[in-house]
Amino acid sequence: MLHIRQRGKKGIYSVRGTIKVGSQSINVPEQSTGFTTKAEAAEYAHELEEKIRTNIKTGHTSHPQDITFDQCLEIYLINNQLKAGEINKIEILRPYFSNIRISDIKTAWRDFLREKQHLAPTTTNRYRDTIMAIIRCAANDLGFEFQKLPRKRGNDNVVFHLDNETRTLLLDCYSTHARPMFEIYAVQGFREQELLQLDWADVYFPNRTIDIVKSKNGETRNVPMHRKTFWILARTWIRANKPKSGKVFLTIKNVPYCDTRIRGGGTPLHKAHTLALKRFEQRHGFIPRNSNGKKMRIHDWRHDWASRCIMSGMDLLTLQKLGGWKSIKMVQRYATFSKHHEATALNKI
């Protein structure tokens, strides 16, 4: 039988217990119901218990090799609230994994990789992590073991650096509407949606700081404004009649940019960036490329900013804090620029 109890300061109920059907039993480790009311938590526990009893009766717990990906997905959807990006990944995965038994998941994964050879290693690993999360959720509920899919190895340490002249010339190639946003990318290192979803309520002109409320790692961070950022935002604020709230940057149609972290979809500024690269190539005869030899992406402005921070003498911990990286490992790729900077400084003696 499953039991519920309140946990933590927020009073969210958790559920745990042991369910028996004949000689079969399953231990359910403690997990959050997500509810703060007893009635809703009890209903959640009842549905979970019925689901597990059904799986015991059909033999899924005693023969985990017969459990299919779709059955795991059903359990996952019950236990999790999905974001748009995850829903999109699942929709892409389902044709390859629907009705595939967990024991055959590696074979299906290899077939998927053959079909998606164009995907970058980091993108491939995101699909892999989604599959693992779905199977792991079902394994926790039903008590079976599973084999992990291998991660795809690749050059994840993409670095990018523009010289001062190229940086200035490229910024001149952006449209009048898009240029202020890319100028802030160049000096602040924000992620695209961190900038596009910036609200005037989170901009503090007196102490020249910005709150990034909804960052990738889920934590709010307060960052100082670069002097160029200050004047760009000040001009934009005055032209907008000094609002106290509302999105800082609007589309050419004067509406907020969509938050692709919620709705999914492509990059809102992709067209503006692509046109800027074409203008740059027409004027100067080449296109800036990253360390993988690929055309500069919008996100490479963030790499360029981080590289210049290190070359200016900033330590990795400060860079991690300003850029909002969750782990110091994520900024260690820029250490090569630190070594270059040290050698240059030494040769000046």
Segment 283-331, tens digit of pLDDT: 999 999 887 788 999 999 999 999 999 888 888 999 999 999 888 888 8
Closest C-alpha to 72, from 46, 51, 50, 86: 51
**Residue 127 belongs to what H/E stretch?**
helix 121-142
Measured CA to CA, the distance from residue 334 to residue 341 in angstroms comes to 11
- 8 Å CB contact between 133 and 95: no
Residue 34 is predicted with a pLDDT of 75
Residue 166 is predicted with a pLDDT of 95
User: Degrees (nearest 5) of the Cα angle 318, 324, 325?
Assistant: 90
Residues lower than pLDDT 70 in the chain = 9, 21-26, 29, 55-65, 84, 154-158, 217, 263-265, 337-349
What's the distance, Cα to Cα, between the start and end of the chain in Å?
75
Residue 134 is predicted with a pLDDT of 92
Residue 156 is predicted with a pLDDT of 55
What sections of the chain are H helices per DSSP? Answer: 38-57, 69-79, 84-97, 105-115, 121-142, 164-171, 179-188, 192-196, 227-239, 260-263, 270-284, 300-311, 316-323, 335-347
Any bridge partners for residue 27, and if so which?
18
Tokens for 342, please give them.
Answer: 């040290």
Residue 89 is predicted with a pLDDT of 85
User: Degrees (nearest 5) of the Cα angle 278, 156, 313?
Assistant: 85
